[in-house]
C-alpha cells in the first residue's frame, strides 16, 4: 500500500515536471511595451504632449488596414526607453494601432530562429555588424525591403522630403545603400563619431595642442616620454577599433577614392600611395620607441581604455560613446575627455573623423510593411529626435539634431559631434558585403594582423601583400556571383 502511494506520488511529480518543461516551448505572446515598461514619468509626458498632438491628429493620421506592428529593437547602449516612448506617441497619433516591442541586448540571437522560420518582425533596429550576423545575412540573401520611397516622401511634420533632413552623404553610405546601386535598404538611426581621444586637462596644463597632422602627432612622443606615458594605445585584442584610424587616414591620404578602394576591394589598392602612407603610420607606431603602450596587444577594450584614462598613454581611439561607456572607470586626477579626430597628412588639410551610423530595417517579408514605413517616418519627426535625445541620450542622423538634444548628451559627446559639424571632415565607411556564402570575414582579415604588425612579427609590406591576395579572392568571389 505504502509503495503504491509513493509510486503515485512519483508519477505525479514526473508528470508535472514533464508538462512544465513542455510548457516552456509554447510561444509566449509579447506584451505591448506600454504595459510593462512605462514609468510614471513616461505617462505624465504622454499626457502633456497629448494637447500638442490633438489638433493634427484627425487630419494627419492615415488609416491602415493592418493595425498591428511588431518591432524588434536592439537594446544596446541606447536602451529601449526611446522606442517605448515613441511607440506610445505613435499609437496615440494613429488610433487603433498596436505596437509590440521586442527589445533585447541579444536581439540578433533572439530573432534569428524567427528569421529562419520566416516569421520576421515588421521593423528591426539592429546594426549590420551585429555579431549575430542577422542583418549581414539578410543583406546577403536580398531579404530586406527597399526604403527609397520612404526617403523620397514628405516628412510627417515638415514640408520637405525626408532625404533632405538626413545629414549629407549618410544615405549614400554602404550602411544605407548596401548594394551600392543607389537603392536605400537601411535607414540611418543614431550616428557616432570616432577618432583619437586625449586628456584635455592634461594637454591644457602642459600647453600641448591636439595634433592636426601626423608629424605633430609623432612629435608629441618626446613630450609623452618625458611625462612618463606612451604616445598611443588601442583596444588590443579587438584590433577592429583601428579602423577608426585606418579609414580617416586613408581619406586624408587619398580622398574618398582611396576609402572606396579600401572598402570596395579595389584592385592594386594595397600598393597604392594612400595605402602605403597609411600603413606607414602603423609601422611608425609599432617601431618607434615609446609610441605604443607596453602590453597593448593583450588588453581588451576596457583594460586599454582604463590605462589611457589613468594616464598611461597620451592617445586612445574610441567613439563619441567613450565618456558614457567608461563612466565608472578609474582615471587620473583631473581627467577630461578631449576629442582630437584623426590627424591629416598634409599641413592645412582638415582633421578627419570616422562616422558610424546605426541602422533600421524593414524585412522584405514584413507582415505589415505600410505601417512599418509610417513608423519609420515617425522616427524622423522633431518629436522623434527630441525623444531620442532624452531617452536614448543619442543623436539621430538628422541635420541640427545635435543642438536639439544638447541637454541630454555628455559634454564630450556634444563636442565630438560639434567638431564634425564645424570643420572636422567626417568620413563614413563600412566594407562592401562580400559574396554570399563567402568564408571571408573581411573585417577580421584586415584588422587582426595588426597585432602581428604591432608585435613586429609582421612587416607592413608582408601585410599589404597578404591583403592583396585576400582582396583578389573577394573580388573573384563577387565576380563569380555577377556582382
Partner 1 sequence: MKKSIRRNVFIAFCILPSLLLFSLFIVYPAINVFKTSLYQDSGLGNKAVFIGLENFKTMINDEVFYIALKNTGFLAATTIAPTLLIALFFAALLTSGKIKYSNFFRTVFFFPSILSFVVISILWSFIYHPTMGIVDSFLGIFGMELELPLLGNKYTVMWALAITMIWQAAGYYMVMYMAGIDSISRDIYEAAEIDGASSFQQFWRITVPLLWGIIRTTIIFIINGVITNSFTIVKVMTNGGPDRDSEVLLTFMYNHAVNANMGYAMAVVVVVFIISIILSVISNRLTGEQTVEI
Contact footprint for partner 1 (CB under 8 A) = 7, 11, 14, 17-18, 21, 112, 115-118, 131-134, 136-138, 140-141, 143, 236-239, 294-300, 303, 307, 312, 436-439, 441, 444, 448-449, 451-452, 455, 457-458
What is the closest distance, in whole angstroms, from the C-beta atom of residue 324 to partner 1 in the complex? 21
Distance of alpha carbon 226 from alpha carbon 231, whole angstroms: 11
Q: Identify which of residues 14 and 219 has a Cβ nearer to partner 1 in the complex.
A: 14
What is the closest distance, in whole angstroms, from the C-beta atom of residue 112 to partner 1 in the complex? 7
Q: Identify which of residues 21 and 160 has a Cβ nearer to partner 1 in the complex.
A: 21
Length of the chain: 483
What is the closest distance, in whole angstroms, from the C-beta atom of residue 68 to partner 1 in the complex? 22
What is the closest distance, in whole angstroms, from the C-beta atom of residue 18 to partner 1 in the complex? 4
For residues 133 and 108, is the Cβ–Cβ distance under 8 A?
yes
What is the closest distance, in whole angstroms, from the C-beta atom of residue 61 to partner 1 in the complex? 34
Q: Identify which of residues 150 and 174 has a Cβ nearer to partner 1 in the complex.
A: 174
194: its cell numbers: 570616432
Q: Identify which of residues 326 and 409 has a Cβ nearer to partner 1 in the complex.
A: 326
Question: Phi/psi of residue 202, each to 5°?
Answer: -65, -40
For residues 181 and 326, is the Cβ–Cβ distance under 8 A?
no
Q: Identify which of residues 136 and 391 has a Cβ nearer to partner 1 in the complex.
A: 136
Question: Phi/psi of residue 168, each to 5°?
Answer: -60, 140
Q: DSSP assignment, residue 367?
A: S
All residues at 6 or more sequence positions from 83 whose CB lies less than 8 Å from its CB, including other chains: 33, 71, 73, 101, 103, 125
Distance of alpha carbon 42 from alpha carbon 389, whole angstroms: 14
DSSP for 159-198, written as a single string: SSBHHHHBPTTSTTSTTTSTTSSS---SEEEEEEEEEEEE
Q: Identify which of residues 414 and 471 has a Cβ nearer to partner 1 in the complex.
A: 471
For residues 175 and 191, is the Cβ–Cβ distance under 8 A?
no
What is the closest distance, in whole angstroms, from the C-beta atom of residue 119 to partner 1 in the complex? 10
Q: Identify which of residues 161 and 240 has a Cβ nearer to partner 1 in the complex.
A: 240
200 closest CA partner among 340, 376, 299, 55: 340
Amino acid at each position: 500500500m505504502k509503495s503504491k502511494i509513493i509510486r503515485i506520488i512519483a508519477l505525479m511529480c514526473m508528470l508535472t515536471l514533464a508538462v512544465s518543461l513542455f510548457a516552456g516551448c509554447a510561444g509566449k505572446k509579447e506584451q505591448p511595451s506600454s504595459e510593462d515598461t512605462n514609468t510614471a514619468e513616461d505617462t505624465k509626458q504622454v499626457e502633456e504632449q497629448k494637447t500638442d498632438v490633438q489638433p493634427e491628429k484627425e487630419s494627419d493620421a492615415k488609416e491602415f488596414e493592418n493595425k498591428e506592428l511588431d518591432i524588434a529593437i536592439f537594446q544596446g547602449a541606447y536602451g529601449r526607453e526611446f522606442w517605448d516612448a515613441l511607440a506610445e506617441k505613435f499609437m496615440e497619433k494613429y488610433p487603433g494601432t498596436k505596437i509590440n516591442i521586442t527589445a533585447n541586448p541579444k536581439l540578433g540571437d533572439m530573432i534569428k530562429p524567427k528569421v529562419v522560420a520566416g516569421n520576421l518582425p515588421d521593423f528591426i533596429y539592429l546594426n549590420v555588424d551585429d555579431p549575430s550576423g542577422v542583418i549581414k545575412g539578410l543583406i546577403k540573401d536580398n531579404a530586406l525591403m527597399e526604403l527609397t520611397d520612404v526617403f523620397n516622401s514628405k516628412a510627417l511634420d515638415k514640408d520637405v522630403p525626408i532625404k533632405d533632413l538626413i545629414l549629407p552623404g549618410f544615405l549614400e553610405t554602404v550602411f544605407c545603400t548596401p548594394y551600392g546601386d543607389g537603392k536605400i535598404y537601411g535607414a540611418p538611426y543614431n550616428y557616432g563619431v570616432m577618432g583619437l581621444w586625449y586628456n584635455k586637462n592634461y594637454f591644457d596644463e602642459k600647453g600641448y595642442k591636439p595634433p592636426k597632422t601626423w608629424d605633430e602627432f609623432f612629435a608629441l612622443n618626446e613630450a609623452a616620454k618625458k611625462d612618463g606615458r606612451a604616445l598611443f594605445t588601442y583596444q588590443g585584442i579587438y584590433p577592429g577599433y583601428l579602423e577608426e584610424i585606418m579609414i580617416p587616414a586613408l581619406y586624408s591620404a587619398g580622398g574618398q577614392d582611396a576609402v572606396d578602394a579600401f572598402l570596395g576591394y579595389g584592385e592594386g589598392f594595397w600598393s597604392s600611395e594612400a595605402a602605403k602612407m597609411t600603413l606607414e603610420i602603423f609601422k611608425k607606431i609599432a617601431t618607434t620607441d615609446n609610441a605604443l603602450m607596453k602590453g597593448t596587444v593583450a588588453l581588451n577594450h576596457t583594460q586599454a581604455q582604463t590605462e589611457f584614462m589613468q594616464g598611461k598613454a597620451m592617445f586612445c581611439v574610441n567613439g563619441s560613446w567613450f565618456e558614457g561607456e567608461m563612466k565608472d572607470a578609474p582615471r587620473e586626477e583631473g581627467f577630461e575627455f578631449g576629442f582630437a579626430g584623426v590627424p591629416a597628412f598634409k599641413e592645412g588639410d582638415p582633421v578627419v573623423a570616422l562616422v558610424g551610423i546605426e541602422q533600421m530595417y524593414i524585412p522584405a517579408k514584413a507582415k505589415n510593411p505600410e505601417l512599418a514605413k509610417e513608423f519609420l517616418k515617425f522616427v524622423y519627426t522633431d518629436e522623434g529626435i527630441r525623444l531620442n535625445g532624452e531617452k536614448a541620450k543619442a543623436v539621430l542622423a538628422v541635420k541640427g539634431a545635435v543642438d536639439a538634444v544638447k541637454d541630454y548628451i555628455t559634454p564630450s559627446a556634444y563636442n565630438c559631434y560639434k567638431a564634425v559639424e564645424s570643420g572636422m571632415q567626417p568620413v563614413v565607411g563600412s566594407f562592401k558585403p562580400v559574396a554570399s556564402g563567402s568564408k571571408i570575414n573581411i573585417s577580421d582579415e584586415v584588422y587582426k594582423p595588426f597585432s602581428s604588425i604591432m608585435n613586429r612579427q609582421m612587416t607592413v609590406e608582408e601585410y599589404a601583400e597578404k591583403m592583396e591576395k585576400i582582396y583578389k579572392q573577394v573580388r573573384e568571389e563577387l565576380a563569380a556571383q555577377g556582382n
